[in-house]
Amino acid sequence: MSKRFFEILILAILLTIVVGLLTHYWTSIPFKETAQVMTQRLNRALFLLVIVVPMFALIERFWPSIANQPKLRPGVWTDVVYWFFTPMVIQTMSIISIVLFLLPIYLFIGRVSIENGTLILDWSKILAGYGLVSHWPLWVQGAIAIILGDFLGYWTHRMNHSRLLWDYHAVHHSGEIIDWLSAVRQHPINDMLSRVITASPVMLLGFSPIAVEAYVPFLSVYIALIHANIFWDYGAFRSVFASPVFHRWHHTTDEAGLGKNFSGLFPIFDVIFGTFYMPRHQQPRNFGISEAMPNSLWGQMTYPFRRWKLFGSDRRQRLEG
């Protein structure tokens, strides 16, 4: 797929979402319930922030990977905005994208229907899952879905480092000082594509979305942990669970670490596919990307689009990997 064709595809998807919402095409979407969900996400973000700020302040103080790393680094306040913007806006857009992707399939299997030109979504059926998998305990569904999702996420992450998707993923890699708050710096297109590719197959297999939702607070904190300025490598379990050292090597600009450590939770996938890199008794020091990234939220949101070939920009430099 050419980069220009991909840009046209992305533009078409965004226009479809915007036009659909403006015209209320999906009139059965419970907007009141959606507002309640966003309020819950805001409350959860506030609650987690109150917990993680002092927690990571202590952990990064006593077990630093890079001693005396500045807390008030460039872009820190933008990342604070991301802490709320990502779960409330970006992830909401991702959920809409997943629904769009699954609609034709759910129409076929009877999870949604069209009556008098109105789309009817049976949310109880969608949330319950279907088939053999739906009869398993929710904790079993959640555990298996997370492992399967991490496998799919491994390959999605590798795709994000391709020429086609790098401009969107570069926003996440742009920080030259990496700490726990760097985890939430995500471009919407990056998040939407990643979640569609990882979540859709899991849902199509019949897993209940509720099963994974229960793990979300833990996963949110853990994703922050693996970005944190901490020297933990988990010792004998270094290739079993993703550690801060493991993931910080993924963010390095050092040539030896480029194109390594794509797993989000379980490095065994990197071991199997030859992308595991975590030299013993060494800590990554250099981070960032080869081109300047704006520190503002707007600048980072528009960064990939300003490099579109559709707009006449054909020059790009990126870190291979």
Q: Residue 315 has what pLDDT?
A: 43
Angle made by CA atoms 103, 214, 186, in degrees to the nearest 5? 65
Give percent of the chain above pLDDT 90.
Answer: 45
Contact 166, 155 (CB under 8 A): no
Contact 208, 101 (CB under 8 A): no
One-letter amino acid of 257: G
Buried b (16+ CB within 10 A) or exposed e, 205-229: bbbbbebbeeeeeeebbebbbbbbb
**pLDDT over 60 at 316, yes or no:** no
Going from the C-alpha of 3 to that of each of 79, 171, 309, 310, the distances in angstroms are: 29, 18, 8, 9
Q: Residue 321 has what pLDDT?
A: 39
How many CB atoms sit inside 10 A of residue 294's CB?
16
**pLDDT over 60 at 27, yes or no:** no
Q: Residue 128 has what pLDDT?
A: 81
Q: Residues 61-111: pLDDT tens digits?
A: 999 999 999 988 988 999 999 998 888 888 777 877 787 788 777 777 777
Calculate the average pLDDT of the chain: 83
The tokens describing 302, both together, are 């528009």
Q: Is 185 exposed, middle or buried (0-12, 13-18, 19+ CB in 10 A)?
A: buried
One-letter amino acid of 155: W
Q: Residues 156-199: pLDDT tens digits?
A: 999 999 988 899 999 999 999 999 999 999 999 999 889 889 98
Give the Cα separation of 259 and 57 in Å (integer).
30
Please name which of 292, 297, 64, 29 lies closest in space to residue 176, comparing C-alpha atoms: 292
**pLDDT over 70 at 7, yes or no:** no
Task: Render 156-196 in DSSP notation, one character per residue.
Answer: HHHHHTSTTTHHHHHHHH--SS--GGGGG---HHHHHHHHH
Please name which of 254, 253, 251, 247 lies closest in space to residue 278, comparing C-alpha atoms: 247
- Torsion, Cα of 248, 250, 255, 256 (10° steps): 90
